[in-house]
Chains A and B, each alone.
Chain A
Amino acid sequence: MSVNRHEPPRRRDTAALIIAAGLVVIGGVMLWDSARLADLGGYSGVGPASVPRVVGFALMGLAAWTAIEALRGDFPQRAPQNAPPVLWIVAGLAAQLMLLHVAGFSIATGILFAFTARAFGKRNLAMTIPIGIVFAFVVWAIFSQLLMLHLPAGPLEHLIFPRG
């Protein structure tokens, strides 16, 4: 990931500044949350709020450091990214999440399978979705029936294994 380090550094890395801002927010949330804890330090003087507080301040410090590197353009350059494949995979995971309890494991995961394959170049969803569903169903059958793992069943699973 540091392949392009020898190219002239860019000035003012906006993306890195956003990361710094994100770190400030996370650090702030930690400090805010630790402030409302009753600090039962007891003998040790170190209670439940102490470590989150230290981590929160450390993240703030790292945010400042990140901001300095961002302003000096010290961050390594990123390889250009293709957004669509990334979004296809994210969409596949989101679809699986939403469909899991409605449609069951096989259909939800089959869609994730097909969307991921599409992200890597197998574009024909009419072919990959059925393949994905069949594959996911076989996996479901092995893991839920043989290895007794609790995987949500849907209409398809109930159709073939009526007892679930």
Chain B
Amino acid sequence: MSAFEFLMQGLGTAADPMMLLYALIGVTLGTAVGVLPGIGPALTVALLLPVTYRLDPAGSLIMFAGIYYGGMYGGSTTSILLNTPGESASIITALEGNKMARKGRGGPALATAAIGSFIAGLIATLLLAFLAPSIVKLALVFGPREYFALMVLAFVTVSAAFGDSALRGLTSLFLGLALACVGIDQLTGQARLSFGVPELLDGIEVTTMAVAMFAVGEALFIAGQRVQVEDEVTAVKGSIWMNRRDWARSWKPWLRGTFIGFPIGAMPAGGAEIGTFLSYATEKKLTKHPEEFGNGAIEGVAGPEAANNASAAGTLVPLLTLGLPTSATAAIMLAGFQQFGLQPGPLLFATNPTLVWGLIASLLIANAMLLVLNLPLIGLWVKLLTVPKPWLYAGILLFATLGTIGANPSAFELGMLLAFGVLGYVMRLFGYPIAPIVVGLILGPMAEQQLRRALSISQGDWTTLVQSPIAAVLLGIAALALIVPLILRARGKGEVLSQLAGEED
């Protein structure tokens, strides 16, 4: 069957009323967390994992993907009206978007963001659907060594390539890898680093650690800040509709943003924000109104917003076809698949096509739902911004602990939540990135297994790792991604890299 037929079949699955309900819950929650500063899609999916243990796998995954897409939409609202990005992929939107809102053009800014997100989501999801089968075919020739090389590349790009310090990125990554060693060894059954504590034999729960890092660590960090920023919401004045000129100036940035964001999201380079920076730079260079940049140019909202939604879809390409997460949210979604005993990758397309294609098709539906949720109902979301901080964070911690208690109601698990929360706080305080430790914990065991398999096949010959051309090229890129930024930083050109810092989403 061709991708088109599979997609049609998927639409049939996704049009089931229950699936539509899951998608609707997902996009609504996603928009809400995108709007609220301080919580992002990665945290929300992590919180929901324990709650969905007993629900339908397909429905839960559709909901998670809806949250991811919704987070990308909702983030723009906060950026434009509050000048505080709701999540890291919307930082750029705040540059021009908030200026537009202050000039009374908040409506068109929100509209171009929402419509741009819709168009980007639509094109990128179709690209995902039509690219996935060929990548799956390619992935079928991947053996353990190619997977190992791919994971090494993901480790390097997530930890060391971007951000302001390779040292802190790598430290975060290796802490994650160290935590990943805890528990029973998958191949020999020996207990590692469990110190006779039975609770540690199962390893460290990914959800506990992710919730602790993102929710508890963030709450502690915000609470500890001496200078509390008072946020001011800019009211939406005038028409929310775009006029003819706005349309004329928006459609090209939407398309350019889509084609910049999609490949960036699909590369193992950690997160959607890089695409938004590149899109902004492109629009600034190509615009016919350079004087408006910095004072509220609509292109500067349209391009980056399209790019971040296209990235979210792009991220799903390696996740679904290779089982390789390239952002924190994707990493948590991978944990979601594993919770249902599913391993994303080429095999899943063969063994469970209904689920995979249902998921891809439901993204198209979710995208349409989001357009409706975000344009006419924008006023509702703006109200969310007025929830006072004490109640907001008290509620976040309530749900954070609820998820952990629901998965495992033991004092030990809550103790780990507290300990990792404090670790997350200290890491934030000293400028350590959070994504590498989470990715290390999730990918660490997989990378170890692939490495040991590859070496078993070669009977202990390490050169096997570079004897396959694909693996050699991937490891080569990984080495470059580690070394080139080090040289750039040493020459004092690190500013650009630190601006491209991959944050938690």
Listed in ascending order, the chain A residues whose CB lies under 8 Å from chain B are: 1-2, 5, 15-16, 19, 23, 26, 29-30, 33-34, 37-38, 40-52, 55-56, 58-59, 62, 65-66, 69, 75-76, 78-83, 85-86, 88-90, 92-94, 96-98, 100-101, 105, 109, 112-114, 116-122, 128, 132, 135-136, 139, 143, 147-152
Q: Tell which of B166-174, B338-346, B369-377 binds the partner.
A: B166-174
B245 within 8 A of A: no
Query: Restricting to B138-189, which residues have a CB under 8 Å from any CB of A?
Result: 164, 167, 170-171, 174-175, 177-178, 181, 185, 187-188
Number of A-B residue pairs at CB separation under 8 A: 202
Listed in ascending order, the chain B residues whose CB lies under 8 Å from chain A are: 50-51, 54, 164, 167, 170-171, 174-175, 177-178, 181, 185, 187-188, 190, 192-193, 195, 216, 219-220, 222-227, 388-391, 393-395, 397-399, 401-402, 405-406, 409, 411, 414-415, 417-418, 421-422, 425, 428-431, 448, 451-453, 455-456, 458-460, 498
| CA A112 to CA B411, docked complex, whole Å | 14
Least Cβ distance of A54 to chain B in Å? 9
Q: Does A15 lie within 8 Å of B188, measured CB to CB?
A: no
| CA A38 to CA B188, docked complex, whole Å | 10
Q: Does B455 lie within 8 Å of A45, measured CB to CB?
A: yes
Q: Which residue of A lies closest to B190 (CB)?
A: A48
| CA A58 to CA B175, docked complex, whole Å | 10
Taking A48-B185, A93-B421, A97-B415 as contacts, is the C-beta distance between A59 and B192 under 8 angstroms?
no
A37 is contacted by which of B192, B430, B451, B453 (Cβ under 8 Å)? B192
Chain A residues lying within 8 Å of B453, measured Cβ to Cβ, are 44
B411 is contacted by which of A88, A100, A151 (Cβ under 8 Å)? A100
Q: Does B193 lie within 8 Å of A33, measured CB to CB?
A: yes
Q: Does B51 lie within 8 Å of A93, measured CB to CB?
A: no
B171 is contacted by which of A1, A46, A66, A79 (Cβ under 8 Å)? A66
| CA A68 to CA B185, docked complex, whole Å | 34
Least Cβ distance of A94 to chain B in Å? 7
Q: Does A45 lie within 8 Å of B178, measured CB to CB?
A: no
Q: Which residue of B lies closest to A37 (CB)?
A: B190
Closest 10 CB pairs of A and B: A45-B460, A44-B455, A85-B223, A120-B390, A48-B185, A117-B390, A122-B390, A44-B456, A1-B431, A81-B224
Least Cβ distance of B427 to chain A in Å? 10
Taking A2-B164, A82-B226, A85-B223 as contacts, is the C-beta distance between A46 and B188 under 8 angstroms?
no
Taking A26-B175, A59-B178, A79-B226 as contacts, is the C-beta distance between A100 and B405 under 8 angstroms?
yes
